[in-house]
Amino acid sequence: MTGNIRTFILMAAMTALVMGMGYLIGGQGGAVIALVLAGAGNIWAWWNSDKAVLNQQGAMPVTRQQAPELVDMVAALAERAGLPMPAVYVLASEQPNAFATGRNPENSAVAVTQGILQALSREELAGVIAHELAHIRNRDTLTMTVTATMAGAIAMLGNMLMFSSMFGGRDDNRGGGLATLLAMIFAPIAAGMVQMAISRTREYEADRLGAEISGQPLALASALAKIARMAGRVVNIPAERNPASASMFIINPLHALRMDRLFATHPPTEERIARLQAMAAGPWGSQ
């Protein structure tokens, strides 16, 4: 099963969760209203998510005059990837990390931390930027924005269902008390798990395509190892304040001691590195 098909199935599951929660609250009408509200939230996020995430992370735009090597690297890799030049941002965090955002390739941005600029070699940094450009080319930034919005909608509907049942507004014919209780408890958890599954699927594909764009899968593998090793030692305060954005980073930015690591938004770094090493050792790597 390809990554795109798997993502489509998982997003369909997320949509079904939204409609199911709406149905428990208000029957067929509630299911339709829930779907409409989730759609409206996605439209808002589609237009504003890039600005919101960049502001949350304290990202500052940089020009070629301010960071010529970085901007020239992004420009060269974007041209190789067949993409328009994205905006380039730098985050003040000392934690090595990076992310991409934007509703489409024409309105996209690549953001890197001060920490990653200091920690990685030129080849490793190119691999990371290529990975983020792969997310832009695959429109993963939009996919993750939609799933995050729908996950939030499911959590909100769970709260509404709880208050509805507390004040006698629930119709027992729509599933009974046990079904309502299970929905309140497990639907938000299931939504989070679907969101994580989509994120993990997209990370593997971005690693593969990013390695092709940069032409150096081993450099990206080395970068992932360094970032994973160092990220847990440095607290990324903006990311800690906005944990919903964790899935956007190349490596989970949340601190190693946080319970969030039990629900990791990224696949195991060791597996990602192994896939890149196999890619380098295979027919592609000998080209």
CA 63 – CA 71 distance, rounded (Å):
7
Give the domain extent around 151. Answer: 3-286
Question: b or e along 194-210 (b: 16 or more beta carbons within 10 Å of the residue's beta carbon)?
Answer: bbbbbbbbbbebbbbbb
CA 223 – CA 44 distance, rounded (Å):
34
Task: Please say if 132 is a catalytic residue.
Answer: yes
Of the residues 79, 94, 132, 270, which is catalytic?
Answer: 132
Q: What is the DSSP letter of 249?
A: B
More confident residue, 178 or 70: 70
Range from 18-32, 47-61, 219-233 that averages highest in pLDDT: 219-233
Q: Which residue has the tokens 């489409």?
A: 104
Provide the domain count of the chain.
Answer: 1
- 4: which 2 tokens? 């795109």
Beta-bridge partner residues of 99 = 111, 249
pLDDT digits (tens, 9 = 90+) for 203-221: 999 999 999 999 999 999 9
Detail the residues annotated as belonging to a binding site: 131, 135, 203
pTM: 0.75
Average pLDDT, the chain: 79
pLDDT digits (tens, 9 = 90+) for 94-133: 999 999 988 889 999 999 999 999 999 999 999 999 999 9
At residue 51, the pLDDT reads 80
At residue 258, the pLDDT reads 47
CA 215 – CA 199 distance, rounded (Å):
24
Detail the residues annotated as belonging to a binding site for Zn(2+): 131, 135, 203
Residue 168 predicted with pLDDT over 60 = no
CA 147 – CA 71 distance, rounded (Å):
30
At residue 7, the pLDDT reads 56
